[in-house]
Structure 1
């Protein structure tokens, strides 16, 4: 090994490919085949997806995964969970999903699909062909395990990344597609506004307690735009009820929730948050707190 290529060396082109590169690119920039083989065997270079490689000091990112897929099959389109991930969906995957015009065998961490794409469902991301966000999410709903797909749908719907029109249009254009049963279930959820068993239970508790004047699944805006799609809103009293789920609530989600709550409060809303445990073991407390909040906002309201 020469000083010209120390162990920290990467091909310069990798900087334009989110850290991904190929054997051929490493050789084109100065390594020989034996040196590349040595760096792979010793773990200096690591495989990402397909023929894509990375330096061991560079962590795998959604962008790196996308570039590795494109380096392997340049004629494919980034799609499904991978496309949704690079476009902002809170997914952490190790496999890249692409749409191919013909049948291909899967490669390491690279999964091809032969889905049909409508012309307006194609887009570009950092120079790479990709499906639009709505189409990417729809394909992700179909290919992900059911629990993961459900969690992603809740995130997409509550953050206004997809709406009922997107699902209805897709079902209209692809009536016999595999996975449509799940898409119809999600469409029904979107129409009812019930995104989870916890929300369904919350609605049932509100009805049994004879509380009226509330609306499920409401989008609230301020001068900066959309603040949030809240689980339950009492519009007259400006009281918001949120049900905290377990999925997609890491540190980033916690911070986003706090920022959102601050905007809601500045816009004049009172925010109450309850957990699944609250709904199942402390229903009396839940209703009492909601009634007290409504009483604070409505003169003459009897809590």
Structure 2
């Protein structure tokens, strides 16, 4: 008896079906020639495992009729999400259909046709519907962070968020959505910048200006991550140390010009944002109070 032929490269298959149809043996499926994408679905070993591939596998073999990739996974398919490869795939399905799937987070809800789009063959929620779902399913800060990225990429606009809020007015979840939308800012250029800005707002501090440009007599000095122009306070998120000597020189020259122009620069590192957020908020609060007193 002839054994089933190896599958062609870059193929994603449903394992049980492939074996039942005689296209593949169970031993071949367990070999190094294949790796599991999600439960029951496999790809040949030459196909890189990504979150998008896992979304495609779920959509092709596991997604019920009327369902779509949603939430963080939808943001990733749209091109500006933050899902890691092995993060669960998020889907939304009709209320009457709620399958239990390994490595998949299933949400139940109604999805009108105008809130669905197809991305590279995968049914996915539209950008504005994705923002709505993020507001419902994620902690506020993370929902804002992802919405910032969609706004920054031009995949959704503040006006569209407002229009969608009006469409959903009075319904369940509208307060979460409007709160999220009020904190979102498409000028943010990194997730950590978004998280810092939201933390300041939730602490009761004024809304900082994102990507604020500062000039002196010689021209543009800097475009700071966040700033309070009325107090001449700039906040800079330092994701990594600039160890290069030339970069260090430029950073110090820039800092000197900012200080000469009367600006106080507060640096926030990734470690402090993670481990000492309350301390960061306290420093910004004290700086604002000090500037207010000196202006009297």
Which bin holds the TM-score, normalised by the shorter protein? 0.5 to 0.7
Structure 2 residue corresponding to 1:110, chosen from 104, 115, 124: 104
Structure 1 residue corresponding to 2:82, chosen from 71, 91, 105: 91
Q: C-alpha deviations, 1:115-156, integer Å up to 9, x for none?
A: 223332221112222222232233233223444324323333
1:14-163 aligned at under 5 Å gives the runs 15=10, 19-24=11-16, 26-27=18-19, 30-32=22-24, 35-36=25-26, 38-39=27-28, 45-56=34-45, 58-71=47-60, 72-73=62-63, 75=65, 76-93=67-84, 94-101=87-94, 102-163=96-157
Contact 2:140 2:180 (8 Å CA) reproduced:
no
Contact 2:75 2:146 (8 Å CA) reproduced:
no
1:1-303 aligned at under 5 Å gives the runs 5=5, 9=6, 11-12=7-8, 15=10, 19-24=11-16, 26-27=18-19, 30-32=22-24, 35-36=25-26, 38-39=27-28, 45-56=34-45, 58-71=47-60, 72-73=62-63, 75=65, 76-93=67-84, 94-101=87-94, 102-175=96-169, 178-190=172-184, 195-198=194-197, 216-217=209-210, 230=211, 232-234=212-214, 238=220, 239-242=222-225, 243=235, 245=237, 274-275=267-268
Contact 1:50 1:110 (8 Å CA) reproduced:
no
Contact 2:75 2:150 (8 Å CA) reproduced:
no
Shift of 1:88: 0.6
- 3-state SS of paired residue (2:52): helix
Shift of 1:108: 0.8
What is the root-mean-square deviation of aligned Cα atoms in Å? Answer: 4.7
> Within 1, Cα distance between the matches of 2:174 and 2:153?
22
Shift of 1:100: 1.8
- 3-state SS of paired residue (1:140): helix
Shift of 1:61: 1.2
- 3-state SS of paired residue (1:175): coil
Q: C-alpha deviations, 1:211-254, integer Å up to 9, x for none?
A: xxxx924xxxxxxxxxxxx2x234895442125558xx69xxxx
Using the size of structure 1 for normalisation, the TM-score is 0.58
- 3-state SS of paired residue (2:118): strand
Show structure 2 runs of 5+ residues with no match: 189-193, 226-234, 241-246, 248-264, 273-278, 289-296
Moved more, 154-163 or 129-138: 154-163
Contact 1:22 1:51 (8 Å CA) reproduced:
yes
Contact 2:39 2:103 (8 Å CA) reproduced:
yes
